[in-house]
Structure 1
Amino acid sequence: MEEENTSSAQSEGIEIVDDVKLQGGLKLPALYWNKLYRYQQKGIKWLWSLHQKSTGGLLGDEMGLGKTVQIIAFLYALDYSRVHSPFGNFVGIGPTLIVCPATVIHQWIRHFHDWAPEFRVAVLHQSGCFQGNKADLIKDINKNNGILVSTYLGILKYKGNLLDHHWYYIILDEGHKIRNATAKITVAIKQIRTPHKLLLTGSPMQNNLQELWSLFDFTNPGMLGEMNTFMEHFNNPIIQGGFANATPMQEATALSVATALKNMISPFLLRRTKAEVQEHIELPNKSEQVLFCSLSDYQRRLYKDYLMSEHVNSILGRGVKKWNSDNYFRANMLMAITRLRKICNHPDIFLYDEGEEPREEDESEERFGFYKKSGKMVVVSALLKIWKKQKHRILLFSQGRAMIRIFEQFLGEQNYTYLKMDGTTPIGSRQKLIDKFNQDETYDVFLLTTKVGGLGVNLTGADRVIIYDPDWNPATDTQARERAWRIGQNKPVTIYRLLSAGTIEEKMYQRQIWKQLLSNKILLDPKTHRAFKSSDLFDLFSLQEPSEQINPETTNIFHDSRVKIQERLLEKKKNKKTDDTPPQEVVFSEDKIQKMKLLAQQLAKSITSKEPKKTPYQMELEEERLEKKKKKEELKKLSIPELLQLNREKANQKVDDTINKVDDHETSCSFSKALEVAETKSNLYRKIVEKKIDVKQLKEKIEKDIENKEKKKVKEKIVIDKSGKVDGEKVEGLVKAEKKKTKASCEPGSSNDDFILNKLFSSKGVSGALEHDSVINGSVRQNNLRISTHASEKADKAIQAIKKSRIDKWRW
C-alpha cells in the first residue's frame, strides 16, 4: 500500500523527501527542517537533549533571533515523532502551558498557525475568543493534550484551576518576569506540576546574580543551592572583584568563581548573540552610540536649584531629617531622582508636576513643551531634520507618556507624520499599528514608550532609533533597539542613546554598563573585566558644570571607546589652542608708528592708482635705508654697557626671526589692511638689506606669483552650467557638469554617521559620544600562578558549599 502511494505521488510530480532524524528518535520533515536557520536547528537539538534527560533549561538567545519559532518547531517534532511520554498515557505532545506577556499572545498564535496549524491552541485571556467558563477551558485543553496560552497575570487569576492538573510542558516567554524570587507570580508558577520546564528570555540577567538564581531555581530546582549560600559564595566574590579598588587576589577570585558558575549552568543554558549568527541570518550592520547632551540654561538653573532644595539637603543629611524608617528614606530618594530625570527630559514636565499649569494657547517660545527649553530635544530636532532629508524612518522611545505628549506636539508643529503607541493603546489595535508603520513608508516617526509592546514587537520598517532617556535596567533600553535590528531588517541600523551630560542620567548609564558587564562575565566570558568605583548619594545628587576643557565623566572612564569623530575634534581643538598662542608683543616707537602710517597711506594710493609714480618696494627700500643710517648714528653715541643691554633686548624679542616669508593675500584699500601690508613688507626689506638678498630676483618671483594668481581668478570666474555651456556658450564635447563633492561624508544626503556627529558636536550641544558596543567589551587581566591557584581553591570551596546546600534543602 505504501509503495502504491509513493508511485502515485511520483506520477503526480510530488517530490518525496525523507525525514530528518536526530539521535534518540526525534524527527522532522526535511522541508520543515530546511526552513530553519542553522543555529535554530542546533537549538532544537539542544531542547531534545534536555527532554531526554527530563530536565529544564533556559533558551537565552538575544532578542530577535526566533526563540518562539524554535519552541514551536520542537513541539511539532515531538508530535510528529510520536514520542512516548513516561509521565502520562499519551504519545507525542502532551498538555502544554505557555505563559507570555499579553502584548505577544497574538504573535504566538500567528506562529502556531504558520508552523503547526494542526495543533489545538486556546487563549486564556480576555483578548481570546473563548467566552465561557475559563475553568472548563483549562480542563478541556488539558484533557485533549492541547496548548494553552496565558499571561503572567492570568496565572495568578486562575492559579487554583491550573494547579488541579498535571502539565507536560510549561514554557515561560520573557521569563525574566520571575526574576524576583519572592514575588507572587514567581511563587505561583513554581508550584505548577510539570516534568519539563523551559524559560525563554533575551536578557537572562538584568540587574544582579540573585535574578539568575531565581530563573534557574524554576528550570532546575536546587541546582544552584539555597539563595543565601549562592549569594555568599558566588555573588559577593564576583561583585567585589569588579571594583576599581579590588586587590589582585579579589580580581582572580572573581574570575575563578565566575568560571565555575558558568561551567555549572552551561549545560542548561543556550545563548547565541546576533554577532555570532549574523552571517547565517544576513543581518545588516548596527551602529550604536551614546550622545552626551548639554542642558539648556533653563534646565541648568532648575537642576541646580533643586539640588540645593530642602528635599535634597535632607536626603544628603545637610538639613533636618524628616523620616525615621529606611523605607521612607528610600521613597524620598527615588522621588528626588525622578524629579531630576524629569528636568533632564524637559523642564516643563517637572514644573507641571510641581503644580504650574501649562498655557495651551501660548504660541511664544515660553509655551508649554517648547523644544528649545530642553538640550536633548534640540539634538532630537537636529537628528530628525537630517534623517528626514536622508529618507530614514525613526523609532523614538521615551520612558513616560508625559514626554510622548510633548513629542506629539513637536512633531505636529514640524509637520512630521507619525504613529504613537503607549500603555493606553488597546492591545487589540497594537499589531495593526505595527503593520501600518512597516508597510506605509509615508510615516516618518513611530513614537513609543520603552516598555510598551513586549520584546517580540517587530518594527523593521525603521532603520534609525533614538532612545531619549535611559532606564536603570539595561534590558529595557536593549529591547527598544531590538525592535528595529532583528530578522527581517535589510538596512543598516543606527541607534542613538541620549544622555544629559553631568546629571543623574550619566550615573544611570554607568550603572547600566556595570550590570551588562556582570551579565557578560557569567553568560559569555568570565574574563570580561572593567573596574568601577563605588558611588554614593553625593555622586547621584551632583552636577558637572560645562566646560570646553572637561569631557563628561563617562567619556573619560571609557576613553578608549570614544567615537573617532570626537577624537579628531579633540585633537583639532588641541592643535588650535597651540596655534592660537599669542606671539610676543612687539612695541614700536611713536616715530616708527608715524612713518608706518605715512607709508600705509602711500601704499593705499599706489594700489588704487592706475599708474603709480613710485612702486611700494622702492619707497620701503628708501625708508629702510634712512632708518638704518639713523640707527647706526645712534649706536655710535652709545657706551659699551648700553650696547650690551641693547643686544640682550634684541635677543629676547627675536622679532625679526619670526617672519620668513610674505603672506600673499588679497589686500583691501582700508587703512588697517594697508598698515598690515606695510609692516610685513617693511620687515622683509629690512631682511633684504641685512642679508643682501638679490632684490631683482625676489621681485621677479613675487610678480610671477601675482600673475599666476590673477590667471587663477580669471579661470575661477568661468561658469559651467549643467546644460554643457561655458559662460552661456556651447562647448563641443561637454555634455554635463556637476559640482564635485570633496567630502561625501559631510554632505546632508550622506548616510555616513560622521556627518551627523560632526553637526551635533559643532552646534547642537553634544559634548561627548561613545561606541556602546565597545564600552561593554571589557579587558582581560592576567594573574600570576600563586594568585590563580589560591583563587581556584576558593572557587572549589564555593562549589562544595552549593552541593552541601542542595542536600540540606532536599532533607528539609
Structure 2
Amino acid sequence: MAYRIKDGMLEQDGILLEAEHLFSLGRISAYSGTEEVEMVISKRPTRIHFEFEAEPTPHFLLFFRGQPLDAEQTHSLTKYDYFISDGKRLHFVSSHLSDLLTSAFGELPLPKLMKLLRTLHLEGFMDEFPSHLIEVLRSNQQKLAQHDKLFVKSLYPYQEEGVNWLSFCAENGVGTILADDMGLGKTAQVIALCCDVLEKSPNSKVLIVVPNPLIDNWVREFNFFAPSITPYLHYGKNRRGVASAFDDHSVVITPYTTMTSDITMFEDVYFNLALFDEASMLKNPKSTRSLSARRLDIGVTVAMSGTPVENSLMDAWALTDLVFEGFLGGQESFKSRYVHSNLSETLDKNLEELESSLRQITLRRMKKDVLEQLPEKLDIHTAVSLGESEKIKYEALIDEMQHDCQNGGGGILPLMNKLQQFTAHPALVESTIPHDANSLIKSSAKFELLMMQLDKIVQAGEKVIIFATFHKVIDLIQGAINERYGILSGVIDGRTPNDERQSLIDTFSASEGFNVLLLHPRTAGMGLNITAATNVIHYCRQWNPALEEQATARAWRNGQKSVVNVYYMYYADTIEEKIDERIRLKQQLSNRVVSVTDDKETDKQIMLEYLEALGS
C-alpha cells in the first residue's frame, strides 16, 4: 500500500491516483526513488498563472508563485488536476480551473483559443491579452489570400493586407468586423474575400445582406471587381420563396428587409460566409432584423461598419456577438461590466481591456494611417436602387415622355425638369409626402442613402458639402439635417445674398467637428474656397461633367491637406446612370479638360437617345 512519486505524480501499487482521492488523505509518506518523504497535501485549491506565446506555435506556459512549472508538473496538472512542488507539497486546483487547463492544453481551434484567452485575462489568470494575435499567427504561417483568378482589379497595399487578414479569419472560422474609415474600400476588400473563399472551395455559398438602396450598387461592384461572378439578387415581388432558388448560385445578395421577411427560407441554407454591409443596422440586438440575422446558418460572419460604436458600448457588444458569439460574454454580463460601472474608478481599466479584446477581431484603418497609399481625391460612384413605389412612378414618367415624343416632343423639356425633380426627391412633384426626416427617407432611396452617409460623417466628426440643384430639395435636406443632427446647415444658392456667402463659409470652416454646407452647383460651384470640408456629395447629378468638377474643386484644391471623399449618387437603371456613365467617359476622354457649357439642347438630345434606346 506504499505511495510512490513517479514522473511528478503519485501512484499506489502501480496505479496513478486522482486528485479527488489524494485530497482526502491530508498527509502521507511517499517514496521518491529510495528516499521516503513526508507529503503535505494542500486543503485549498491552488491558483495557477498562465502565459501565452504565439510563436513558434501557439502554446501556454504555467506558473505557480512566480515560478514556471516544469514538463512533469504541467503534465500532472493538466492530466490529473494536481502537481507536486519542492518534491513534498501537493497542490490541486478547482474544477473551474481544471476545465480551463483542459481547454488550454487540448485541441483548440482559433475561435475557442481566443475566447479562452479573454476568459483567462478577465478572471485574472493571465496578465496580458496577446495583441494582434491573428496577424501574428497569419504571419507565422505565411498565409496569403488567393483571389487572383476571380478578382481582376488591383488593390492598394493596405487593402491587400486587409484581404489577407480577412482570409485567415475566414479559413479559421473567426468572425470579424471590417471597420475601415470611409472611402478606404471596404467593398473591394470583401469582394476579394468572396473570391478567395470561392477559389479555395468552389462549392461555397456566400450571403451578402445590404441596405435596400445599395442592392444594385453591390451587383455593379461585383461586375467591376469580379465580372466572372454573377450574384443572385433575392429581392422584389418576383423572387422565389424556396431555398432551392439559391442552389445554382455561389453569391446571394439580399436587403435586410427581405432577409427578415424570408428568414424561414434563408435558415434552411448553409452559408460558408455571410457579409453584413452597413452592419450598424444590427446594433440593436433585440430588433427583428438582428434576431433574424442570428437565425442564419453561417460558417463565418463579417460585419462591415465604419462606425462599430455609435452611441453606446452595447453597439460594440451587438456587432461582436453577431460575428463571434460569446466572445465578449453574454449581454447582461457585458452590460454589468461596462455599461453600469462606476466611471470615475473603472472606466479606463474597462475600456483598455475591452479595446484589447475588440482589436483581436476588428480591422480598422484610418485614412491618416494609409495616406501615402491614397490619391488626393477618392471618387465613389454609388448606384442607388429605386424603391418599389419609386420604380412605378419613374416608369410612369418615362411612359409620359415617350408618349410626348410620339406626338412631336413639344413638352419634353418640362417633362425632363419634372424627371430631374423626381430623382432629387418625389416630394418635389408630390405634395402629399410629409417633410419630416423619416417620411422623406421612406419615400426616397437616394435620400435614405444620403442620410446613411451623413451618419458616417457625423461619427467621423468631419465636414461635408452637399450639391443639390433645386431650392426645394436643398430646403428638405436642411430640414432633415436639423431634425436628425440638431444643426442648421448653411445654404448658398440663388437666394443667398452675395455679401453673406463668405461669412457662411467662415462659420462652417471655424466650427468644430461635423458640419454641413448645402450648395447649388451653379450658384456656388465656382470661386469659393471650402477646404475645411473633406467630403463632397453630389446629390443631384449635373449633365455637364465640368460643372461637377468645378463644384468638387471647392474642397479639393490647393490648401487641402486631407484626402477628399467625393460621392456621386445616381439611380440604377435610369437616365441618371446613363449620365454617370457619360460623365465618367467624358472625363477620361478629355483628361478633365472640358469646357463649361449650358446647352439644354444637348441635354434634350441625351434624353431623346435614352428614350429611343428604351423603345428599341
On whether the aligned pair clears a TM of 0.5, the verdict is no
Bigger share in helix: 1
Structure that is richer in strand per residue: 2
Q: Which has the higher contact order (CA 8 A, sep 6+)?
A: 1
